[in-house]
Amino acid sequence: MEQKQLQEFIHFINASKSLTRAQRLKRDLLMARDHADKQQEAASIPDAPQPQPAEFKPLSALATAQFLALFNDPMGLKYLTHDFDPDMDGRPHTLEALHQQALTLIKSKNYQIPPSLWSLINKYLDGGGEWIDTFGQKHRSCIKDTRWQAWSRTNNMHPINNPAFAVEVMAFRSAVRLVAPALTDICSKAKEGLALNVTEEKTDRADFYTNTYRLFIVLKRILAMMNRRADKHPNVTIAYRRKTDSQGRMLRQLVITQSGSLANRSIAEVKDRLLHATEAGDFGAIRNNLNGYCLWQVETQWDGQPARWNILKTCEQPEIDPLASNEVVGFRHILSYYIV
Contacts of 61 by beta carbon, 8 Å cutoff, 6+ apart:
292, 293, 294, 295, 312, 336, 337, 338
The DSSP bridge pattern shows strands 208-209 and 295-302 to be unpaired
Decide if 81 contacts 176 (C-beta within 8 A): yes
Closest CA to 182 of 219, 147, 229: 219
Q: Choose between 136 and 15: higher pLDDT.
A: 136
Given a cut of 90, is residue 255 above it in pLDDT?
Answer: yes
Given a cut of 80, is residue 301 above it in pLDDT?
Answer: yes
pLDDT of residue 280: 72
pLDDT of residue 55: 79
Q: Choose between 90 and 37: higher pLDDT.
A: 90
- The pTM (predicted TM-score) of the whole model is 0.83
Give the range with max mean pLDDT: 6-15, 124-133, 266-275. 124-133
3-state helix, strand, coil in the chain (%, to 5): 45, 20, 35
Given a cut of 70, is residue 205 above it in pLDDT?
Answer: yes
Q: Average pLDDT, stretch 256-279? A: 86
pLDDT of residue 276: 73
Q: Alpha-carbon distance 20 to 273, whole Å?
A: 64
Sign (positive or negative) of CA dihedral 277, 282, 283, 287: positive
Q: Choose between 91 and 83: higher pLDDT.
A: 83
Mean pLDDT of the chain: 88
pLDDT of residue 37: 57
pLDDT of residue 13: 56
Sign (positive or negative) of CA dihedral 106, 112, 113, 115: positive
Complete domains list, the chain, with CATH = 61-177 (no CATH), 182-339 (3.30.565.10)
Helix (H, G, I), strand (E, B), or coil: what is residue 257? strand
Cα 285-291-297 angle, rounded to 5 deg? 80
pLDDT tens for 179-199 read: 999 999 999 999 999 999 999
